[in-house]
Amino acid sequence: MTGTGGAGSLVRDYEYALPDALVARYPAERRDESRLFVLGADGSDAHRRFLDLGELLAPGDLLVVNESRVLAARLLGSKPTGAPAEILLTRPRSDPDGGPASDPGAVSEAAARARVWEALVRPGSKLKPGRTVVISDELSVEILDSAPGGGRLVRLRTPLTTEEAIRTYGHMPLPPYIDREDEGMDRERYQTVYARVPGSVAAPTAGLHFTTELLDRLEAAGVRVARVTLHVGIGTFRPVDAEDPTDHPMHSESYSVPDETARAISEARQRGSRVWAVGTTVVRTLESAARNDGSVRAGSGSTDLFIRPPFDFRVVEGLITNFHLPRSTLLMLVAAFGGYHRVMDAYDEAVARGYRFYSYGDAMAVVRRER
């Protein structure tokens, strides 16, 4: 597969044909039984199982994971007329009536208590400010105002705490391409085993393949594990409509890098070990917090970093990721990391070999070639 106007310079360069049957609508029976397509540093390809990941990692390598936890933030209810309606809470906001403020840059703390949220609503044409959606006898949602991106500002009306209301009445916000309603098992399987900090509206899906047992085996073999948090926003589902990627407004997401993770990255570099990112969210976090010398600043912030070819990676040397949608910013990031032609050719091969795609699908491991 070849690009036009340079290596992946246009959005249409990131199209590929995918049979509908290869879209994974359910996870593998066991997380680490997924397949793993390996793009090696020497240019070789290999086809393995995810549970063989330890064969790619050396003692001392640092594996960085995203601890963000998906909120069951999809609320299904009805308008006063009885017609169905849907609210997807995307991030907490300050209460315009003077209630406790919620910091959008610290979703993990705000989500448990916020009454006012930015949200996407359906049907958008009917849910104007002043309308109410009834979720249950204990929960209703008042539409307050319009919000950026066609969304709404809404207030939760409930005698429960926000955390209790979402846990009791919320549904997991599965991506549209899964094309089914969420089920009980999605509460567990659409979370990583290490998810700890609530705030995402979509899972950092590369981490879905890890089991506690696999992580324990990797650490016993000398692989070190560090943690960051980047809360996945609704922008991850938005298509790139522009033909030139430079015209695409990248969504902003909040992140946090603990002191111990910044220190672990510095120590890995000092001993000559590789830094592996589990997912594109970790890549964006680390490269957003990177200094010119490849060290990483600890702290919290927000990033709208759009990684696409060409890009000078300063921190990450290995990437574990899922297979991404055509024309997506995530696919562009992987192409920047692994090389445009090589990654797009690998996608064609993955389709030919029957790999399963997207959130509940198989995985890819990409090791950067030596400069």
Burial of 291 (0-12, 13-18, 19+ CB in 10 A): exposed
At 183 the three-state DSSP class reads: coil
When pLDDT is averaged across residues 233-262 and rounded to a whole number, the result is 89
Q: How confident is the model at residue 2 (pLDDT cuts 50, 70, 90)?
A: very low
Q: Band of the pLDDT at 3, cuts 50, 70, 90? A: very low
73 contact partners, CB below 8 Å, separation of at least 6? 88, 89, 90, 166, 170, 173, 201
* pLDDT for position 104: 39
Beta bridge partners of 351: none
| Structural domain boundaries in the chain | 11-70+185-367, 74-171
User: CA–CA separation, 151 vs 118, rounded Å?
Assistant: 7
Read off the pLDDT band of 313 (50, 70, 90): very high
* pLDDT range class, residue 112, cuts 50, 70, 90: low
Please tell me the predicted confidence (pLDDT) of residue 103: 41
| pLDDT (0 to 100) of residue 225 | 98
What type of residue sits at position 223?
V
What is the distance between the alpha carbons of residues 209 and 213, in angstroms, rounded to a whole number? 11
Share the mean pLDDT of the chain.
Answer: 92
Mean pLDDT on 164-184: 95
Q: Is the pLDDT of residue 1 over 60?
A: no
- What is the bridge-based pairing of β-strands 62-66 and 275-278? parallel
Which two three-digit tokens encode residue 168? 């009791």
Is pLDDT at 300 greater than 50 in this prediction? yes
Q: Is the pLDDT of residue 102 over 60?
A: no
Residue 175 · residue 202 · CB < 8 Å: yes
Q: Is the link from the previous residue into 123 a cis peptide, with omega within 30 of 0?
A: yes
Mean pLDDT of 14-18: 97
Share of the chain above pLDDT 70, in %: 92
Q: What is the average pLDDT across 99-114?
A: 50
What pLDDT sits at residue 114?
83
Q: How many whole angstroms from its chain centre is CA 154?
A: 24
- For 301, phi then psi, to 5°, come to -175, -165
For position 107, what pLDDT does the model report?
44
- What is the mean pLDDT of the segment spanning 234-262? 89
> Taking 80 as the threshold, does the pLDDT of residue 323 lie above it?
yes
Residue 117 has pLDDT above 80, yes or no: yes
> Predicted confidence band at 241 (pLDDT cuts at 50, 70, 90)?
confident
C-alpha 153, offset from chain centre: 23
What does the pLDDT average to over 39-63? 96
Q: What predicted TM-score, i.e. pTM, was given to this entire model? A: 0.92
The class (CATH top level) of 74-171 is: mainly beta
Structure tokens given for 281? 């969210």
pLDDT tier, 66 (very low <50, low <70, confident <90, very high otherwise): very high
Residues contacting 29, CB < 8 A, separation 6+: none
Residue 72 CB burial class (10 angstroms; 0-12, 13-18, ≥19): buried
| Assigned superfamily of 11-70+185-367 | QueA-like (3.40.1780.10)
What is the bridge-based pairing of β-strands 253-257 and 68-70?
unpaired
Residue 370, pLDDT score: 55
DSSP for 191-242 reads: S-TT--EEEESS--GGGGG--HHHHHHHHHTT-EEEEEEE---GGGG-----
Is 20 exposed, middle or buried, given 0-12, 13-18 or 19+ CB atoms closer than 10 A? exposed
Output the pLDDT for position 105. Answer: 40
Residue 155's pLDDT band (boundaries 50, 70, 90)?
very high
Q: Which residue has the tokens 């030139």?
A: 244
Q: Is the pLDDT score of 71 beyond 80?
A: yes
Calculate mean pLDDT across residues 128-135.
Answer: 95
Measured between alpha carbons, how far is 43 from 51 in angstroms, rounded to an integer? 22
Residue 89 or residue 125, greater confidence? 89
CA atoms of 217 and 236, how far apart (whole Å): 32
Instruction: Check pLDDT > 90 for residue 80.
Output: no
The predicted pLDDT at position 126 comes to: 87
Dihedral-angle region of residue 319 (phi above 0 means left; psi in -120 to 50 means alpha; beta otherwise) = beta
User: Both tokens of residue 10?
Assistant: 């246009």
